[in-house]
Structure 1
Amino acid sequence: MKIYKWFLSFIVVCTVANLQAQDFQGKATYQSKTQVNFDFGNRNIPEDRKKQMMERIKKANEKTFVLNFNQTASLYKEEEKLEQPGERGGGRGPRFGTMTGTDGDLYKNIKDQRYLVKTELLGKIFLIDDALETLEWKMGSESKQIGNYTAFKATATKTIKRPNMSAVFRRPGRGEENKEEEKAEEFTVKEVEIVAWYTPEIPINQGPGLYWGLPGLILAVNDDVTTIVCSEITMNPSEKMEIKAPSKGKKVTQAEYDEISQEKMKEMRENFRNRGGRGGGRPN
């Protein structure tokens, strides 16, 4: 363990000295996949139709993000995918992060320990401005190779809130059992273990999404349903990108945005049920 700590410190010191000698910038590309278990409830939907719907939902939750970073700040944005010929609807479906405000242009300032997210909720633009959550990372000596970099494992516990799309699009039914199902919350809150892999070879206190706080760039992170892995890194790209905080949208805190999105989820749920769940329970 002492040898590991000495080795880690040596890498960090050498790399920091090298980076501080220049006005550096980096670009990291991440692939994100979220497992989705959508409950069709009591809908009478053919199995082939269910399979098609699940494929669309799965595709909608497979995304590519780009993280542009310097020594103090970063900008994390989704890379938009072009619709392929023959794809109906472009693979649209419920995206299980959008209602929580974690999608959109995400700016993190490590020096100020704040973040801003420009995000859209049902046609309205919001600007979430709040303090970064500090996770209590537990760092170990386990390592693995990710691309050209040696990454070390770290774990932490985090409370995660997610929209429950199955509850929103559940078809209204009869009987006490169905009445109980209809009371399901629009959001689920649970405590999960976060597993991250960071590289001290790039000693930047940054990572994908809202993750940060390790002595090196986070190359991979996993919670109970989402896996994010870095697929490419470019240090000091020839085309520099201005890492600028978003400024447009109605400014709210994360708690205020969560309350607004929860009300919108309830409205969607009521509108869907007032229509009697018509449209085959289509979730998009």
Structure 2
Amino acid sequence: MKKIITLFMTVSMFLTASLKAQNSGEVSYTFSYEKFKGEPKDEYEMSARMMADKTAEYARLHLYRLKFNAYESYFDVEESLPIDDSEGAFPFNVSKFTFSNGIFYQNTKTNENLNQLTTMNELFLIEGNLRRDWQITHEHKRIGKYNCYKAILSCAGCDNNQEIVVWFTPEIPLAFGPAGLGGLPGLIVEATKYRYTLSIKEIRYFEKDLTIDKPNEGKKVTAEDLKEMQMKVRRNMTKG
């Protein structure tokens, strides 16, 4: 494994020299969803599947955007125009948070990974570090014009104990990715969590350096602290 990472880092060093004039840019991703297979067990599961399908339909309409400069990145979801349908209001609102919630900021110099989001009617700023506990595999494939390699984030480090699978390319030596995923020796061009996938659609480079705004508002917490707060709220609602 160390040999694989060393090889990727060496390749990235050579490629970085050719990308110095393209330090800033924007990556757009498309959303896709794998539908459930087989027949539902009961009406409850059928209703849940229909809601999931409807939510995914709306999620495909949003713009998933990663802005970056040489050391920082900023990921957010720009929602599509609101729908004019009262029955679809709930799945539309949920669709904005299907793959991730809030905005994400990454900094390779300071090793920061911030997530600003609103939950429980309060604004939070989740503080953390860039993920370095990826399992980089020997699997590779071509996505578009990029040679990509597979990396896995184990269930122990994922939301809701779901494994995250990504494909990154050393041909774009940026340690960034969508939804706070990063820390790999190359840009993440595809990421899958549960049944949801974000895939690179386009990357545009800017002639001038892009200023990335670092989020600083919100109650500062760790991911573990926020999960405990949310569990406490759920327990109180159950008791009530």
CA distance in 2, matches of 1:242, 1:133: 23
Give the counterpart letter for 1:110 in structure 2.
T
1:152 is displaced (CA, Å) by: 2.5
CA distance in 1, matches of 2:126, 2:148: 31
Secondary structure at the aligned position of 1:155 is classed as: strand
1:267 is displaced (CA, Å) by: 4.4
Secondary structure at the aligned position of 2:56 is classed as: helix
Give the counterpart letter for 2:193 in structure 1.
D
CA distance in 1, matches of 2:166, 2:52: 28
- In structure 1, the partner of 2:120 is 122
- In structure 2, the partner of 1:182 is none
- In structure 2, the partner of 1:227 is 197
RMSD in angstroms over aligned alpha carbons?
A: 3.7
- In structure 2, the partner of 1:180 is none
- In structure 2, the partner of 1:202 is 172
- In structure 2, the partner of 1:147 is 144
1:55 is displaced (CA, Å) by: 4.0
Give the counterpart letter for 1:66 in structure 2.
R
Secondary structure at the aligned position of 1:243 is classed as: coil
Structure of larger gyration radius:
1
- Superposed CA deviations along residues 224-280 of structure 1, whole A, max 9, x for unmatched, are 433221111112267x64212101111111111111122233345556xxxxxxxxx
Q: Does 1:136 align with 2:134?
A: yes
Equivalent in 258, 272, 276 of residue 227 of structure 2: 258
Verify the 8 A CA contact 2:115 2:180 in the aligned structure 1. Answer: no
TM-score (norm 1): 0.66
Q: Does 1:76 align with 2:75?
A: yes
CA distance in 2, matches of 1:50, 1:131: 35
* Greater helix share, structure number: 2
Give the counterpart letter for 1:68 in structure 2.
K
Secondary structure at the aligned position of 2:180 is classed as: coil
Task: State how 1:42-191 maps to structure 2 within 5 Å.
Answer: 53-59=51-57, 61-62=59-60, 63-84=62-83, 86-88=84-86, 91-93=89-91, 95=94, 102-140=100-138, 142-144=140-142, 146-159=143-156, 160-162=158-160, 190=161
CA distance in 2, matches of 1:87, 1:237: 42
Give the counterpart letter for 1:225 in structure 2.
R
1:67 is displaced (CA, Å) by: 0.6
Secondary structure at the aligned position of 2:141 is classed as: strand
- Superposed CA deviations along residues 150-181 of structure 1, whole A, max 9, x for unmatched, are 3233334242233xxxxxxxxxxxxxxxxxxx
Q: Does 1:15 align with 2:15?
A: yes
1:57 is displaced (CA, Å) by: 3.4
Verify the 8 A CA contact 1:59 1:92 in the aligned structure 2. Answer: no
Q: Percent identity?
A: 24
| Structure 1: gaps (5+ residues) | 163-189, 272-284
Verify the 8 A CA contact 2:168 2:187 in the aligned structure 1. Answer: yes
- Superposed CA deviations along residues 63-87 of structure 1, whole A, max 9, x for unmatched, are 5311111221111101111124x43
Count of aligned pairs between the two proteins: 230
| Structure 2: gaps (5+ residues) | none
- In structure 2, relative to structure 1, the CA distance for the partners of 1:237 and 1:197 (3 Å cut) is farther
TM-score (norm 2): 0.76
